[in-house]
Each structure stands twice: as structure tokens, then as C-alpha cells.
Structure 1
Amino acid sequence: MRKNVLITGASSGLGEGMARILAAKGHNLALTARRVDRLEALKAELLEANPSIEVVVHELDVNDHDQVFAVFKKAIVDLGGLDRVIVNAGLGKGGRVGTGKFYANKQTAETNFIAALAQCEAAMEHFYERKAGHLVVISSMSAMRGMPSALTTYAATKAAVAMLAEGIRSDLIGRKGHDIKVTTLYPGYIASEMNEAVQKEARMMVDTETGCKALVKKIEAEVVDAAVPAWPWAPIGKVMKHAPLGVVRKMV
């Protein structure tokens, strides 16, 4: 069992949902986010429901890269090592490229990719040192193809983090004497604070708890990659990869 788990972006949405499920399964948790008041409230809730576990919280803006490394090191000390890191923090801002939304697109690119790179670096340094660990990167079904309009930059960043995880996984091939795994997850439409504005319109949306249970199931299986929930997103992903772009536009 990968006992000690760090989750970034844990103050809401998928991060918060996964924290609840992992706590109920007996995992010790290091929870990070910018909104430390929400983390403290979540910590109190988790400890009341699961008094046998440890929960630590740290304020973290993942775009402060020095802070990423510092907070990971604090969490390592707090829990006596990390067995799994879930790179979950992300941003969904954006606009159609060429419409004056560069600043929003830039924020999304920096948060979803550059900051994710910092998290992966910090996690893998620790895992290489221990010769054990599980890196989990949360991508998106939008990473399957180039997406239109406000999704363009977001989808590009999610494709980038998926390739980042695959490159890290490639480095582990042939390396002996370790127990390090890398998982890439591609969530479909799962209700969260990030997408609450479009939840009523989104097709095939599942509630947060259902989606997070599916995510945790794949995480604990330590799969290489997976669309989540598998139905209908695994077959939809195959269609998205090969369908004409005009068809893909109508699917989102």
C-alpha cells in the first residue's frame, strides 16, 4: 500500500474528492492548495471521520516553483516520506487564440504545464532517492486532440503533461532495483468547481464522488494510463484520436 499521499489542488473539486476517498481507505495525506482555510476545514473533517490517519496541510501556489520544492520537502518530513504524489492542481481559464485573451491563456499554460513540471521534478527527486513511489498526473480527455475556442490552450497543456508523464515513464524502462510507477489519467466530464458553469449543459457529466471513486480505483491499480470513467470515455477517446477534426469539434 502506498500509504503517504500528497495531493496538489486539494481545496476543491477532484483533489478534495480524491482526498476524502483516500482518507477513508486509511491513507495519510499531505494536502496542498492556495486556499489554506479550506484545507484546514477539510483536514478537520477527514480526521473526525478517520481518526487513525495523519493529515497535514500546506499553503501552496504551484506557480511559485521554489515553494513547490520547499512544500514537498516539508510534507516528506511531516509524513516520514511520500509514497504517491498526485499532480492535480490546474486552471481552466482561456479564450480562442487571437481574441485578446493571451493573458488568460498564458496563466493556464503556466499553471497546467510549467507548474506541473515543477511538481513532477520535486516528486521524482524524492522517488529516485527512495527507489520507490507512484507519480500520478491528471490530464484530461481534451488532450486527445486539438480543441476549439476557449479549450484550445487548456487542451494543449493537458496533452503536454501527458507527454511529460510518458517521458518520465520512459526513463524508468530498464532501470533496475526500484518500485517507481507513473500513471496518467484522462478524466472526462466530472463535476467540479472548475467546470460548474457548464455542468448543466455538459453531456455525460458524472457527479464528483462517482468520478473521484473512478479516479482512485485507477490510481490504486497503478495503471499506465486510463480514461475516467472508462464508460463512455475510453471508446470516445479512440474516436477522438482518429475522427476528422470537424467531428471532434461537435463532440465537445
Structure 2
Amino acid sequence: MRQTIIITGASSGLGEEMARQFAAMGRNLGLCARRTDRLEALKAELMAANPAIRIEVKALDVNDHDRVFAVVREFKQDFGKIDRFIVNAGMGKGVGIGKGNFDANKQTAMTNYIAAMAQCEAAMEVFREQNDGHLVTISSMSAVRGMPGAMTAYASSKAALESLTEGIRSDVLRKPIKVSCIMPGYIRSELNEKVKETPFMVDTVPGVKAMVKQIEKEVATAYVPWWPWAPLGFIMKRIPLSWMRKLF
């Protein structure tokens, strides 16, 4: 059992709900995000409901790469061992390429890929030293194909993260280190709370429950929730790009 789990971006959305669900399973948690006031409130809530577990919280902006490595080492020192590290922190800003907002697209790319790489590097240093651990990255169904408009930068950054994850998995195939990429479909969170009338959107709790189930299985890659995203993923990879524009 992966007793000690670190989650980045744990102050809201999918990360916050993953913390709730893992806490209910009796796991120790290392939670980090920029908004430490929300982390402390979450810690108090989870400790009240699950007094037997241990929770440590730390401030972290994942774009501060030196701080990423420092926080991971601090969690290792706190707990003695890290069993699972979930690269969850991300953002969804974006504007169509060439429409005059490179800064927003760059920020999304830096957070969702470069900062994720820093988290993977830091976690894998610990796992290689331990010769054990489970690295989990949270990508997106949008990584399956190139997406138009405001989704282009986000989708491409998540595709890069999926490729990075597979490369790491390939590198440690013969080691007792597991690597998983979780690709959520539309799960309600702060990232998409302003999006209305989206088909196949599921609420946060059942959506994250599907994520946690696959994380616990330590699968290589999972589309979640399975229905309709696994069948849709198969279709999305094969239909003409003009059809993709109509779907998304």
C-alpha cells in the first residue's frame, strides 16, 4: 500500500478532492500549493475526520523550480519515505495562437509542462534513491489531439506531459518504480467552473473517485471516467481534424 502520498496543487479542485479521498482511505498526505490558508483549512478538515493520519502542508509555486526540489526533499525528511507523488498542479489559461496573448499561452505551457518536469525530476530522484515509489501525472483527454482556439496551448502542454510520463516509465521499466498518467475528461473543478453546458461533464466527487481508482491500480495510462472517455479517446485519435473542431 502507498501509505504516504504527496499532492501538488492540493488547495483546490481535483487535488483537494484527491486529498479528501486518500485521507478517507487512511493515507498520510503531503499537500502543497501557493494558497497555504486553504491548505491549512483542508488539513484541519481532514484531520478532524481522520485523526489517525498524518498531514504536512507546504507553500509551493511549482514555477519556482528550486523550491520544487526543496519541498520534495523536505517531505522526504518529514515522512522518511515518499510512496506516491501526484503531479497535479496546473492551469488552463489560453488564447488562440497568433491572437495576441503569448504571455497567457506561455504561462500555461510553463506550468503544465516545464514545472511538471521539475516535479517529476524531484520525485524521481527520491524514488531512484529508495528504489521504490509511484509517480502519477495528471494530464487531460485534450492531450489526445490538437485542439483549436483557447485550448491549443493547454492541450499541447498536456500532450507533452503525457509523452514525458511515458518516457519516464520506459526508463524505469525494469525497476520497482511505477509510473502512471491519468487523463481526465470533463470533471467539474475550479479550472472549468465558468464553463457551462459542456457534454459529459461529471461532478468533482465521482470524477475524482474514478481517478483515484485508477491511481490505486497503478495503471500505465487511464482515461477517466472510463465512460465515455475511453471510447471517445479511441475515436478522437482517428477522426478527421475537421470533425474534431465540431466536437470541441
Please list the CA deviations of residues 183-216 of structure 1 after superposition, one character each: whole Å capped at 9, or x if unmatched.
0011000000010010x22111000000110000
Residue 184, structure 1, aligned to residue 185, structure 2: no
Residue 81 (structure 2) aligns with: 81
Counterpart residue type for residue 194 of structure 2? A
Residue 215 (structure 1) aligns with: 211
Residue 230 (structure 2) aligns with: 234
CA distance in structure 2 between the partners assigned to 1:247 and 1:153 by the alignment: 20
Residue 13 (structure 2) aligns with: 13
From 201, 208, 211, the counterpart of 1:205: 201
Residue 37 (structure 2) aligns with: 37
Residue 245 (structure 1) aligns with: 241
User: Does the residue aligned with 1:110 lie in a helix, a strand or coil?
Assistant: helix
Please list the CA deviations of residues 106-136 of structure 1 after superposition, one character each: whole Å capped at 9, or x if unmatched.
0000000000000000000000000000000
Residue 144 (structure 1) aligns with: 144
- What displacement does 1:78 show? 1.2
CA distance in structure 1 between the partners assigned to 2:150 and 2:222 by the alignment: 25
CA distance in structure 1 between the partners assigned to 2:213 and 2:184 by the alignment: 13
CA distance in structure 2 between the partners assigned to 1:97 and 1:130 by the alignment: 43
The percent of aligned pairs where both chains have the same amino acid is: 63
After TM superposition, the score normalised by the length of structure 2 is 0.99
CA distance in structure 2 between the partners assigned to 1:45 and 1:125 by the alignment: 32
Q: How many aligned positions are there? A: 248
CA distance in structure 2 between the partners assigned to 1:116 and 1:28 by the alignment: 22
Please list the CA deviations of residues 144-188 of structure 1 after superposition, one character each: whole Å capped at 9, or x if unmatched.
000000000000000000000000011113x3xx42100001100
Residue 161 (structure 2) aligns with: 161
CA distance in structure 1 between the partners assigned to 2:131 and 2:178 by the alignment: 10
Counterpart residue type for residue 227 of structure 1? Y
From 186, 192, 196, the counterpart of 1:195: 192
Residue 24, structure 1, aligned to residue 24, structure 2: yes
Counterpart residue type for residue 239 of structure 1? I
Counterpart residue type for residue 110 of structure 1? M
CA distance in structure 2 between the partners assigned to 1:201 and 1:147 by the alignment: 19
Residue 117 (structure 1) aligns with: 117
Please list the CA deviations of residues 93-114 of structure 1 after superposition, one character each: whole Å capped at 9, or x if unmatched.
0100001010000000000000
- What displacement does 1:35 show? 0.3
After TM superposition, the score normalised by the length of structure 1 is 0.97
CA distance in structure 2 between the partners assigned to 1:26 and 1:80 by the alignment: 17
Gaps of at least 5 residues in structure 1 are none
CA distance in structure 1 between the partners assigned to 2:23 and 2:217 by the alignment: 17
User: Does the residue aligned with 2:237 lie in a helix, a strand or coil?
Assistant: helix
User: Does the residue aligned with 2:235 lie in a helix, a strand or coil?
Assistant: helix
CA distance in structure 1 between the partners assigned to 2:21 and 2:143 by the alignment: 26
1:94-133 to 2 correspondences below 5 Å: 94-133=94-133
Counterpart residue type for residue 247 of structure 2? M
CA distance in structure 2 between the partners assigned to 1:248 and 1:215 by the alignment: 25
Moved over 2 A (4+): none
CA distance in structure 2 between the partners assigned to 1:221 and 1:249 by the alignment: 33
- What displacement does 1:79 show? 1.4
CA distance in structure 2 between the partners assigned to 1:144 and 1:249 by the alignment: 13
Name the Cα RMSD after superposition.
0.6
